[in-house]
Amino acid sequence: MRSVTVMSEQSHRQAVINLVLVAATLVACAGLLTAAALAPAPALAQPLIVCLCVGFSAAIACQAPDSLRVVRRSRDALDHLRRQLDELPEVEHPLGL
């Protein structure tokens, strides 16, 4: 029996929130790695912290390309709409306002 995974398309807002989450996670992991290196941590804790931070950062960063694609597509759609609006002729208001 094969399972089929259905990926729903992200909205622009979801993509931006996801990118902010990825950036915050990377900053938090970098801070944790710095704290573990500077503070006197037990010898067994340091390799565990490094493995967890690097692994978690890599896992969450895998979502970034899809979110970037959605943000770029939204930006391109907005640019296309603006070009279409620029092509419309200027007309005077019917009441002369």
Give me the long-range contacts of 57-66 (CB less than 8 A, separation at least 24): 57/25, 57/26, 57/29, 60/21, 60/22, 60/25, 60/26, 61/22, 61/26, 63/18, 63/22, 64/18, 64/19, 64/22, 66/10, 66/15
Asked if residue 92 belongs to a domain, the reply is no
- Per-residue confidence band for 21, with pLDDT thresholds at 50, 70 and 90: very high
Q: Is it the case that residue 7 has pLDDT exceeding 80?
A: no
When pLDDT is averaged across residues 12-38 and rounded to a whole number, the result is: 90
Asked if residue 60 belongs to a domain, the reply is yes
Range of the domain at 68: 13-86
- Per-residue confidence band for 6, with pLDDT thresholds at 50, 70 and 90: very low
Q: Domain total for the chain?
A: 1
Asked if residue 1 belongs to a domain, the reply is no
- Per-residue confidence band for 8, with pLDDT thresholds at 50, 70 and 90: low
Q: What is the pLDDT of residues 47-89, one digit of tens each?
A: 888 898 889 888 888 888 888 888 888 888 888 888 888 888 8
- Residue 3 or 63, more confident: 63
| Whether pTM exceeds 0.75 | no
